[in-house]
Every structure is written in C-alpha cells, then in structure tokens.
Amino acid sequence: MEITAPAATAVSTSAPKGLVAAGFVLGGSVLSLTGLTWDIQWHSDVGPDTFFTLPHLLLYSGSAIAGIASLVVVLLTTAAERAGREVDPIVGGRAVGVFGRTFAAPVGYLISGLGAASFLLYGLWDQWWHSLYGFDAVIASPPHIGLLLSVAITMVGTVMVFATARHHRWGVIGGLVSLAVLFGFSTVITIGLGQIPTGPVEPVPAGTAFLAALILILGARLVDRPGGALGVAAVLAALQGVYWWFSPWAARVYADAIGLPVRDYVDGIPDLPSIWPLSLLVVGGLVELLLGVARRGGDLGRMGWIAGGVAGLLVGGLAPVQTVVLRELPLPGAEVLIATAVAGLVLGAVGGFLAVRFGGMLRQLAPVREG
C-alpha cells in the first residue's frame, strides 16, 4: 500500500502501486452489494429482521473494510507529506487538506471514507431504531435510507480511486467493475421512487433508465476507447447471474437455520437482480456504436445525450415488459408503456449529458503521463 513516489532504486513488489488499497475498497463495495441483495430478498421472502442479521453484517463489513482501507491510506499520505516525501497521485488521486492541513487525503479515499463514516453514524441510528421498535418489516425505514445512501457514496469514491489509475490495466478493470457495482446498488434507491405519484409513468423503470444511461456512458468516458460501456454491462450481467441464484437461496437457508418460516407466495424470483435490465448488453452495444461516431470526429457532448436518450428509451420501455415476463403479470396499458418509455428517453438524455461531463471529471483525476 505504498503511497510515495518511486525511489531511485527500483524495488520489486508483488502488486502495482495503489492496487492493494483499491482492491480493499472494491472488495468492501462488492460485499455491501451482496449483503443488500440478500437483505432485500429477506424482507420479501421472510419479512422481519433485527440489527444483527447475517445480511446486515455483510453490509456492515463491506463499509468497515472500505472505511478502514480509506483511513489507512489517508494516514499514510499524511505521514508522507509531513516527512517531506512526494506522494504519488496514482493512489487515490491528488491529496487535499482536511481540517486545515491536519490530514492529507487522496480525493478518492476521502469520498469513500466519508461514506463509510456516514454509514457508521446511520448504523448507530439503526441500532437505536431496532431497540425502540424491534423488527423492521420492510427495508424502507429512515435509518436504512441513510445507510444505503452512505454506501453509495463509498462506491462513488471507489470509482474515483480506480479512475486515478485509468492508464493502467488494473485501473480500467477495477473502474468498470466498480461502476457496475455502483449501478447494481443504486437501483435500490429507485425503489423509493415508487412512493411518488407519477401518473401513468412507472417511476422505478424511469429511474433505472437514468442510472443505466449515466453509468454506461461513464464507463465509456472513463476508458475513452471502445469497450467501456459493454464492459460495465458485461460485469453487471455476471453479477446478475450470481445474485439471481444466491439471493433466494441465502434467504431460504438462513430462515431455516434460525427457525423462521418463508412466506407462502414466494416465487423464487430475486427482487433486486430482477430490477436490473436484462437488455443491458444490447443497450451497451448501441451506446458503443453511437459514441464511436463521436470518437471519429463527432460532437461528444451532443452524442452523449443522444446515446443516453437511446439507452433510456430502451431500458425504460422494456422494463415493464421484463416485469411482466418474470412475474407473469398482465401487460400494462399502452398509455403506461408509452409514458414510461418517453420518461426513460428524457431521463436517459439527462443521464448521458451528465455522464459526459462527470466522465471528464473522472479522467482529470488520473496523473498526467510524462512523454
């Protein structure tokens, strides 16, 4: 986890500089996503939970791992600056002062660490909530919302950490994986949109369309060559396959282990992975084609919102159909399908517009290569 610049005499190391710490924050993010898929399935298939359940412990462990790794990097960076040693910005980005100049924190680890610290505070609130009210019958309790947003902040920091190493293969791979994990986790936030009256528009598919456009184009901008959007889609498809099996299985086995019954109407379809678009590989391919035009001399800003609009239209328009096929529900009326597709188009265009600019910001995190 060395954070200083290379010495004059080369020393062989077992891993590239910055990879170990980045691997810990990414591992914590994946652990948090695993705990989330399990916890949502638990609430759906079984119902009540307390503070100390295995799904919760996975969530807590993920944030703890990411938070401790971030803290270690910040302390090492602070010590290096105070000793007058040059700090290599490939480890989480350029250091910024915290509390005056009491600490020097690489910006990526600062964000991931702040998310983990916020998670700790909301975790204490969640413990108090459980001690006051007992079981949580649903996932959408106030402290849970804060916990979920805190984890999302940590995952944003993880993306930033890998973006600083985008000139290296491990940075590209880690960046695409962390974007896919961020997308998978953030879809749970769109579930809260279901409480908003939106007329004929289905809010969850519309929100998912925005996320899909934003994350896919961010992946393309981060890599800045063909394959970024498809890479994010491929990683998410792999995660979707794993969690499709894992979530219902883990909920059932854990319920049997602690003597709680599974609800009678359980259909075996995982709640969170079934929200993730099954069409994302196709959508990612279309995004690659459209952005390829911009790379060959087109207007990247304009093509960003066009690609985002196409992605949002497909994800938003196909999401209700995906739900019908998986859940064996009746197809919504034409008004709902058209309104949701149009909302996906508009929100996707906004997501594409933002992704081009956020992607440029991510690219600026990487140190300039000499020569």
Q: Which of 69-83, 201-215, 297-311 has the highest mean pLDDT?
A: 201-215
* CA–CA gap between residue 44 and residue 147 (Å, rounded): 19
Whether the predicted pLDDT of 199 surpasses 50: yes
Last-in-domain residue among 134, 165, 196: 165
Number of domains, the chain = 2
CATH number at residue 179: 1.10.1760
**Residue 87 has what pLDDT?**
74
What is the DSSP code string of 54-86? HHHHHHHHHHHHHHHHHHHHHHHHHHHHHTTPP
Note whether 60 and 188 are same-domain residues. Answer: no
Q: Please report, in angstroms and rounded to a whole number, the separation of the first and last CA atoms in the chain.
A: 26
Q: Find all residues with CB under 8 Å of 365, minimum gap 6, and list them.
A: 93, 94, 107, 108, 160, 163, 164
**Contact by Cβ (8 Å): 158, 178:** yes
The pLDDT of residue 5: 47
The whole-number pLDDT of residue 11 equals 38
Backbone angle region of 92, left / alpha / beta, with phi > 0 → left and psi within -120 to 50 → alpha: left
Q: Which range has the worst mean pLDDT, 45-49, 164-168, 310-314?
A: 45-49
Asked whether residue 119 falls in the same domain as residue 252, the answer is no
Question: Which range (5-19, 93-107, 149-163, 345-359) has the least confidence?
Answer: 5-19
- Identify the domain boundary among 143, 165, 187: 165
pLDDT above 50 for 282: yes
pLDDT tens per residue across span 132-150 = 776 665 566 778 788 889 9
pLDDT at 15 over 70: no
pLDDT of 8 > 50? The answer is no
Tell me the pLDDT band of 197, cut-offs 50, 70 and 90: confident
- The predicted pLDDT at position 280 comes to 95
Percentage of residues of the chain with pLDDT beyond 90:
53
Task: Answer whether 0.85 is exceeded by the pTM.
Answer: yes
With bands split at pLDDT 50, 70 and 90, how would you rate the model's confidence at 315?
very high
Average pLDDT of every residue of the chain: 87
Q: Do 116 and 204 belong together in one domain?
A: no
Which is higher by pLDDT, 297 or 180? 180
Are residues 111 and 178 located together in one domain of the fold? no
- What is the rounded average pLDDT of the residues 268-290? 93
Residue-wise pLDDT for 244-257, tens only, equals 999 999 999 999 99
Average pLDDT (9-19) is: 58
Most confident option among 10-24, 43-57, 238-252, 284-298: 238-252
pLDDT at 114 over 80: yes
Higher pLDDT residue, 367 or 317? 317
Same domain, 298 and 229: yes
- Residue 9 counted as domain residue: no
What angle, rounded to 10 degrees, do the helices at 300-327 and 334-365 form? 130
Q: What is the pLDDT of residue 371?
A: 46
Structure tokens at 4: 């200083």
Stretch 57-84: mean pLDDT: 90
Q: If pLDDT is split at 50, 70 and 90, which confidence band does 81 have?
A: confident
Q: What is the pLDDT of residue 169?
A: 92
pLDDT tens-digit series, residues 290-304:
998 877 776 777 888
Residue 369: the pLDDT is 64
pLDDT classification of 163: cutoffs 50, 70, 90: very high
pLDDT band of 3, cuts 50, 70, 90: low
Q: Tell me what pLDDT residue 292 has.
A: 86
Q: What is the dihedral of CA 241, 19, 153, 208, to 10 degrees?
A: -30
Q: What is the pLDDT of residue 140?
A: 66
In this prediction, residue 4 carries a pLDDT of 54
Same domain for 209 and 246?
yes
For residues 177 and 239, what is the distance between their CA atoms, to the nearest angstrom?
10
Co-location of 157 and 182 in the same domain: no
Structural domain of 119: 14-165
**pLDDT at residue 13 above 60?**
no
Using DSSP's 3-state secondary structure scheme, residue 89 falls into coil
102 and 188 housed in the same domain: no
User: Do 94 and 218 sit in the same domain of this protein?
Assistant: no
The reply to whether 126 falls in a domain is: yes
Quick check: is 137 in a domain?
yes
Q: Which of 130, 153, 134, 156 is nearest to 143 (CA)?
A: 130
Examine the domain organization and report whether 194 and 78 are in the same domain. Answer: no
66 and 94 part of one domain: yes
Domain membership flag for residue 272? yes
* Domain edge (last residue) among 115, 142, 165: 165
